[in-house]
Amino acid sequence: VSADFASVGWRIVRGVIPAGELAGLVALFESIVPERLPYPPRPDGVLWEEVGASRRVPALAALTRDPRLAALAADSIGARRLKLLQDTLLFKPRRKGAPVEWHQDHTYVGFLDPPRVLTLRLALVDEDEASGCMRAVDGSHAWGPIGGVRALTEARVDSLLPALSAAQTAALERATPLPLRAGDVSLHHCLTLHGSAANASERPRKTLILRYFDADCRLLPDRLPPGAADAFPLDGDGALAEALFPTVFGA
């Protein structure tokens, strides 16, 4: 178990993917999320999140099982076996990249119990404060869940700001920026409060996001919105179905 992750709620691991492998991963990203496409703008800019591509792109599926990534995630929460919940390719175009509102992933994954769920992010190009890198509030995973659960089927992430106490709001001022070099990885707990600013830089931000959970987690069906149960089938042992939520570590 990572001590940093347990006490702070996030950790960074440098140089997980060596420079020689990055061009191939950038090309894979580009084949799924081409930079030239006119992604739909929101009032605050463009943020494209391509969700679930590993179910149709074998090279991406292989990456979700890459032991360099999956073992880091398992180690961070001390899981013996880990399953993949979801993969997302996040693209914040240069100059007009939109922010990600302050949130806990738990709002969208809180149907898994216990909350032994985490997110691994692999930077494919350098990301820093100018290009809207992620920011996290140290120790906020100990605050517990804020607000309700809305499950992964939500189209966009809402700000938790209105639900925060005065002390929690003040803590946002001290949020830690998580600048990454291409090939670096950050991991955060599903209860860690985080977000990211706009990308006003001349560089695009391209991040591969993998959400994993302890294979011992069980689904709480009453936390799914009506009609969502079909997207979360179970195997005979009560675990989320292997066909859609594959075991990526400790199989």
Ligand X SMILES: O=C(O)CCC(=O)C(=O)O
Torsion from C-alpha of 216, 222, 228, 233, nearest 10 degrees? 40
Choice from 54, 76, 140, 207 touching ligand X (CB under 6 A)? 207
Q: How far is the CB of 238 from ligand X (least distance, A)?
A: 26
Q: Tell me how far CA of residue 228 lies from CA of 79, 111, 151, 225, 233, in angstroms.
A: 27, 11, 9, 6, 10
Three-point CA angle 121, 164, 100, nearest 5°? 30
Count of positions on this chain that bind ligand X (CB under 6 A): 10
Choice from 209, 215, 224, 240 touching ligand X (CB under 6 A)? 209
Q: Is 189 in the site for ligand X (CB under 6 A)?
A: no
CB closer to ligand X out of 72 and 100: 100
Q: How far is the CB of 100 from ligand X (least distance, A)?
A: 4
CB closer to ligand X out of 11 and 121: 121
Choice from 53, 134, 137, 210 touching ligand X (CB under 6 A)? 134
Q: Is 76 in the site for ligand X (CB under 6 A)?
A: no
- Nearest-angstrom CA–CA distance, 181 and 123: 7
Phi, psi for 195 (deg, rounded to 5): -170, -175
CB closer to ligand X out of 32 and 239: 32
CB closer to ligand X out of 25 and 209: 209
CB closer to ligand X out of 82 and 100: 100
Q: Is 121 in the site for ligand X (CB under 6 A)?
A: yes
CB closer to ligand X out of 83 and 121: 121
Cis peptide before 233 (omega within 30 of 0): no
User: Which of 76, 82, 65 has the alpha carbon at shortest distance from 217?
Assistant: 82
The residue of the chain with the least Cβ separation from ligand X equals: 196
Q: Among residue numbers 86 through 105, which ones bind ligand X (CB under 6 A)?
A: 90, 100, 105
CA 129 to chain centre: 18
CB 90 within 8 A of CB 29: no
Q: How far is the CB of 19 from ligand X (least distance, A)?
A: 21
**String of DSSP letters for 55-100:** GT-HHHHHHHT-HHHHHHHHHHHT-SSEEEEEEEEEEE-TTTBPPE
* Three-state DSSP class for residue 247: strand
CB closer to ligand X out of 113 and 129: 129
Q: Among residue numbers 51 through 70, which ones bind ligand X (CB under 6 A)?
A: none
Interface contacts to ligand X, rule CB under 6 A: 90, 100, 105, 119, 121, 134, 194, 196, 207, 209
